[in-house]
Structure 1
Amino acid sequence: MKASELKTKSATDLQQELLSLTKAQFGLRMQVATQQMTNTSELRKVRRDIARVKTVLKEKGAQK
């Protein structure tokens, strides 16, 4: 997910994206805890996507 893609979305879409990413992060953390996860880089990608969404939300809030 790129920041340029996120900037075109509305704030409500970004909130929904953030919610789905946090749920995905929780699921991945449970997989790590139960040693079911084979691709540990997924957790890093999701964490960075969450940071991107939060950054764009903050920028949109500062513009208003």
Structure 2
Amino acid sequence: MSTLNKEIQEQWLTSKQMREHLNVSGCELMHLRQAGKLVFKKVGNAFYYSKVKTLANENI
């Protein structure tokens, strides 16, 4: 397993995991991302959301 893949699994949530965690639709997740309310990074065509910073900021 590459270092990047290990880092992503340990510290980052996929879009699907984040939607389930926040209980929002894909569209709402996109709006939160565009508004700067979520810390994310894009790898290829996939978005990954910071687990630590999102869990610390539950009142999104």
TM-score when normalising by structure 2: 0.30
Structure ID, larger Rg: 1
Higher relative contact order (CA 8 A, sep 6+): 1
TM-score when normalising by structure 1: 0.29
